[in-house]
């Protein structure tokens, strides 16, 4: 029996290693985006659109009356919950726990959000109808960017992997704030007050030592429902709920760590791919070059590709030269530039913000998707080749070597 189990473990080890590597989630997202584009431009395009946008019931029955809305407003709350858990853990005991550790990533992420937004606003040329999309190129996709890094193996030093991951986490924090502040549909005082009360209940549960999962899950679901009707985007409930989960240790691990460990694979390999497949597909049959290279997709693509690397690389150079922060260990300037380019991959969060920015306007949403895909693909390829040509750290692949 023991031999049989050992043999099974050996057989599944290669598959398991693929799906726990840095590259796997990013590769999966690439495949999902390709599948969505094929589905949207195949003989099944009508079925693809009807699946996600066909009405399940009248809106007066329940607000979420399409599968697309259930995915974006419901299922994605799990993704945002995992993001919130990760943010809290990093702030308390991770790479954002001290001023020295967080200084450079916070500066880089902030500049990496401001510069793309400014580039976007410059390229749309004052078109008031497109102004709401300013935040679309401001987001970096963690899974996609880390996936490209993962494909390079030990060529990329651990310090750069950590730098990219920390930037992306801070970037997600900024994106959550932007969504909450700028992309609400309306404001309902009653449901907002209910949201505040339910959040207070979760904070109280933390303070009074509740350390079981199910009470937090029940109240978190109620919080999601209240936020959904408050006018603040429902997925923000995921982040708020996550911030109330206890981090104190119990039996060697905290409730937060247990929940993050359990949910992170489901988020990376189920929730985000479903979201990507539902949102990445664009029907190009009715689009000519004028639509593909319209001001909106060009502004988004340029914001992601040019704005991200200008903002991040520029602020890192400035901060290091002025002595404000220390550069990542064992990393050259070309390598740091390559990571800055990779930050222009804005798949998941950019698609999400695009849907919110132009809600109800399918033409602009599709144009935004084209811009996101163009900017992300160019950033991924260029970032990969920069790092492929400039990095080689064999000492980090040797388990006997001392860390640099």
Please provide the size of the chain in residues: 404
Prediction pTM value = 0.82
Spell out a b/e string for 279-297, using b for 16 or more CB atoms within 10 Å of the CB, else e. bbbbbeeebeeeebebebb
Q: What is the mean pLDDT of the chain?
A: 86
How far is residue 360's CA from residue 132's CA, in Å, rounded to a whole number?
Answer: 13
pLDDT of amino acid 244:
96
- Per residue in 208-248, pLDDT (tens digit) is 988 889 999 999 999 999 999 998 888 889 999 999 999 98
Q: Which helix (H) or strand (E) holds 35?
A: helix 22-40
The residues, any chain, with a CB within 8 Å of residue 341's CB and separated by 6 or more, are 305, 308, 309, 379, 382, 383, 386
- pLDDT, average across residues 27-31: 85
- For the chain, the distance separating the N- and C-terminal CA atoms, rounded to the nearest angstrom, is 44
The residues, any chain, with a CB within 8 Å of residue 145's CB and separated by 6 or more, are 26, 164, 168, 342, 343, 345, 380, 383
User: CA angle, corner 79, sides to 37 and 50, nearest 5?
Assistant: 35
Residue ranges of alpha helices (H) inside 183-242 are 189-207, 213-230, 236-242
- pLDDT, average across residues 373-393: 88
Residue in the block written with tokens 């999309």: 133
- Are the beta carbons of 167 and 91 closer than 8 angstroms? no
CATH topology of domain 25-53+64-184+233-394: Na+/H+ antiporter like fold (1.20.1530)
pLDDT of amino acid 22:
53
- Per residue in 54-72, pLDDT (tens digit) is 998 887 788 888 999 999 8
Which residues lie across from 66 on neighbouring strands? Answer: 55
User: CA angle, corner 369, sides to 340 and 235, nearest 5?
Assistant: 85
Q: Of 253, 25, 238, which is closest to residue 150 (Cα–Cα)?
A: 25
Most confident of 170-179, 241-250, 376-385: 376-385
How far is residue 385's CA from residue 148's CA, in Å, rounded to a whole number?
Answer: 10
For residue 138, is pLDDT > 60?
Answer: yes
If 0-12 CB within 10 Å is exposed, 13-18 middle and 19+ buried, where does residue 347 land? buried
- What are the φ/ψ torsions at residue 245 (nearest 5 degrees)? -70, 130
Higher-pLDDT residue of 398, 379: 379
How far is residue 239's CA from residue 172's CA, in Å, rounded to a whole number?
Answer: 10
């Amino acid at each position: 029996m023991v031999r049989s189990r050992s043999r099974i473990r050996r057989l599944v080890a290669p598959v398991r290693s693929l799906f726990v590597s840095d590259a796997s989630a990013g590769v999966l997202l690439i495949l999902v985006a390709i599948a969505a584009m094929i589905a949207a431009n195949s003989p099944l395009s009508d079925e693809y659109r009807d699946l996600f946008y066909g009405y399940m019931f009248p809106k007066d029955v329940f607000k979420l009356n399409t599968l697309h809305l259930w995915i974006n407003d419901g299922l994605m709350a799990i993704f945002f919950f995992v993001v919130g858990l990760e943010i809290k853990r990093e702030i308390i005991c991770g790479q954002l726990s001290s001023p020295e550790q967080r200084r450079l990533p916070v500066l880089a992420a902030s500049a990496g959000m401001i510069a793309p937004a400014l580039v976007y606003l410059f390229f749309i040329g004052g078109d008031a109808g497109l102004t709401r999309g300013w935040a679309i190129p401001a987001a970096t996709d963690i899974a996609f960017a880390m996936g490209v890094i993962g494909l390079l193996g030990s060529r990329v030093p651990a310090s750069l992997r950590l730098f990219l991951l920390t930037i992306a986490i801070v970037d997600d924090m900024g994106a959550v704030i932007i969504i909450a502040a700028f992309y609400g549909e309306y404001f309902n005082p009653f449901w907002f007050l209910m949201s505040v009360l339910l959040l207070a209940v979760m904070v109280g549960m933390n303070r009074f030592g509740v350390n079981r999962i199910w009470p937090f899950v029940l109240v978190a679901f109620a919080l999601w429902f209240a936020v959904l009707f408050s006018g603040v985007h429902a997925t923000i409930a995921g982040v708020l709920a996550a911030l109330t989960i206890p981090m104190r240790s119990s039996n060697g691990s905290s409730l937060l760590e247990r929940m993050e460990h359990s949910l992170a694979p489901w988020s990376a390999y189920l929730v985000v791919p479903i979201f990507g497949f539902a949102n990445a597909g664009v029907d190009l049959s009715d689009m000519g070059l004028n639509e593909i290279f319209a001001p909106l997709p060009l502004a988004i693509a340029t914001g992601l590709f040019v704005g991200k690397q200008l903002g991040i690389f520029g602020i890192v150079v400035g901060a290091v030269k002025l002595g404000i922060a220390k550069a990542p260990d064992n990393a050259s300037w070309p390598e740091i530039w390559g990571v800055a380019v990779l930050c222009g991959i804005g798949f998941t969060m950019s698609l999400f913000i695009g849907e919110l920015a132009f809600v109800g306007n399918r033409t602009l949403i599709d144009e935004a998707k084209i811009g996101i895909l163009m900017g992300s693909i160019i950033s991924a390829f260029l970032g990969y080749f920069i790092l492929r040509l400039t990095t080689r750290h064999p000492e980090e692949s040797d388990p006997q070597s001392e860390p640099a």
